[in-house]
Amino acid sequence: MSFFIAGTGRAMPEKIVTNDDLAKFLDTSDEWIFTRTGIRRRRVLTHERLDDLAVASARAALADAGTAGADVDLILCATMRGDTYTPSLACTVAEAVGATCPAFDLNAACVGVLYCMEVADSFIAAGKAETVLIVSAEAMSKLLDWTDRASCVLFGDGSGAMVVKKGEGRLAGVLSTKPDSHVIRMPNFEGLNSPYNAVEQEKQAMHMDGGEVYKFAVNAMGSRIEDVCARAGLTPADIDWYLPHQANIRIIDASLKKFKIDKSKVLTNIADYGNMSATSVMVLLDEFAKKGTFRKGDKLLFVAFGAGLTSGAEIVAWQR
Residue whose C-alpha is closest to residue 228's, from 171, 168, 166? 171
**What angle (nearest 5°) sits at the alpha carbon of residue 175, between those of residues 171 and 178?**
160
Work out which of 8, 67, 131, 275 binds ligand UT7, going by CB under 6 A.
275
Please choose, out of 92-100, 139-147, 164-172, 208-216, the segment that lies near ligand UT7 by the rule CB under 6 A: 208-216
Please choose, out of 82-90, 92-100, 127-135, 212-220, the segment that lies near ligand UT7 by the rule CB under 6 A: 212-220
Peptide bond into 187 cis (omega under 30): no
Strands 74-78 and 103-106: parallel
Question: Quick check: 28 binds ligand UT7 (CB under 6 A)?
Answer: yes
Work out which of 8, 67, 131, 248 binds ligand UT7, going by CB under 6 A.
248
Sign, Cα dihedral of 31, 32, 33, 36: positive
DSSP classification of residue 155: B
Q: Under DSSP, is residue 139 helix (H, G, I), strand (E, B) or coil?
A: coil
Work out which of 161, 213, 220, 228 binds ligand UT7, going by CB under 6 A.
213
Task: Output the residue with the shortest Cβ distance to ligand UT7.
Answer: 210
Between 4 and 32, name the residue whose CB sits nearer to ligand UT7.
Answer: 32
Work out which of 56, 247, 252, 256 binds ligand UT7, going by CB under 6 A.
247
CA distance 257 to 13: 33
Residue whose C-alpha is closest to residue 41's, from 10, 20, 13, 11? 20
Question: Quick check: 282 binds ligand UT7 (CB under 6 A)?
Answer: no
Are 75 and 99 in contact by the 8 Å Cβ rule? The answer is: yes
Residue 148's CB is within 10 A of a number of other CB atoms, namely 15
For residues 5-24, which are near ligand UT7 according to CB under 6 A? none
Are 3 and 119 in contact by the 8 Å Cβ rule? The answer is: no
Q: How far is the CB of 231 from ligand UT7 (least distance, A)?
A: 24
Question: Quick check: 153 binds ligand UT7 (CB under 6 A)?
Answer: yes
Please choose, out of 27-35, 59-67, 81-89, 90-98, the segment that lies near ligand UT7 by the rule CB under 6 A: 27-35
Q: Is 33 exposed, middle or buried (0-12, 13-18, 19+ CB in 10 A)?
A: buried
CA distance 119 to 250: 30
CA distance 28 to 103: 42
CA distance 167 to 278: 25
Work out which of 30, 144, 210, 287 binds ligand UT7, going by CB under 6 A.
210
Q: Residues touching ligand UT7: how many (CB under 6 A)?
A: 19
Work out which of 2, 8, 37, 255 binds ligand UT7, going by CB under 6 A.
37
Work out which of 32, 34, 104, 259 binds ligand UT7, going by CB under 6 A.
32
- Residues forming the active site: 110, 245, 275
Please choose, out of 46-54, 149-157, 227-235, 290-298, the segment that lies near ligand UT7 by the rule CB under 6 A: 149-157
Binding mask 87-126 for ligand UT7 (x = CB under 6 A): -----------------------x----------------
Give me the amino acid identity at 162: M
Q: How far is the CB of 107 from ligand UT7 (least distance, A)?
A: 13
Please choose, out of 167-175, 203-211, 227-235, 290-298, the segment that lies near ligand UT7 by the rule CB under 6 A: 203-211
Chain centre to alpha carbon of residue 262: 23
Contact footprint for ligand UT7 (CB under 6 A): 28, 32-33, 36-37, 110, 149-150, 153, 208, 210-211, 213-214, 217, 247-248, 275, 306
